Amino acid sequence: MRASLILKFAIAVLPIAVCSAQTPKGNDSNFLEDFQFCGVASDTTEGVVDRVTLTGPEEYILKTNIKVHYTRAGDDSVDQTYAQFVADVAQGCRDVQCGTFGWRVPPSDGSVGGDSRYDIYIRLLDATGGVLGITYAESLKVLPNGYSSYIVISCGLV
């Protein structure tokens, strides 16, 4: 039960920093520092963060607006029930945040990750530092609704 609540919280909260990030005004030298501080990882040298490579053959759970990438082999392995749970919770959070609450829809990444759905990857994360999930900005290019991004969620939450 506790792991389910942690997972729901992680999926609900992680994209907020990216989806609601404000466009920097002028030449704000603290913007990148603030951007990284809010829990969003970014690659400032290349401008783009490489997508996740899983340790086994990649499988997918497709929802209306969410695509969960997972594998059943290697260190990143999870069963389909866990992947389906992540997909259901993520889609539910997106529906409430963007539908009920009226928050901005996360910008599309085009076809990166296979299609325009919001991508979530399940893989082994080092939880010794308390990291259960990370939101990665695709680039530092500001889009109309913020930054395109994807989420990595730990495979060891349940």
Instruction: Return the sign of the alpha-carbon dihedral for residues 61, 62, 63, 66.
Output: positive
pTM above 0.85, yes or no: no
| Token pair listed for 66 | 């969410």
Q: How far apart are CA 154 and CA 151, in angstroms?
A: 10
Q: Which residues contact 44 (CB under 8 A, 6 or more apart)?
A: 32, 140
Q: What is the pLDDT of residues 128-144, one digit of tens each?
A: 677 888 888 876 666 66
Q: Which pLDDT score, from 0 to 100, does residue 113 have?
A: 86
Q: What does the pLDDT look like over 84-122, one tens digit per residue?
A: 999 999 999 999 988 999 988 888 888 888 898 999 999
Q: How confident is the model at residue 75 (pLDDT cuts 50, 70, 90)?
A: very high
- State the pairing for strand pair 59-62/118-123: unpaired
137 sits in which H/E element: strand 133-137
**Collapsed DSSP state (helix, strand, coil) of residue 63:** coil
Please give the average per-residue pLDDT across 27-33, as a whole number: 38
The two three-digit tokens of residue 19, written as one number? 């989806």
Q: How far is CA 57 from the centre of its chain?
A: 20
Length of the chain: 158
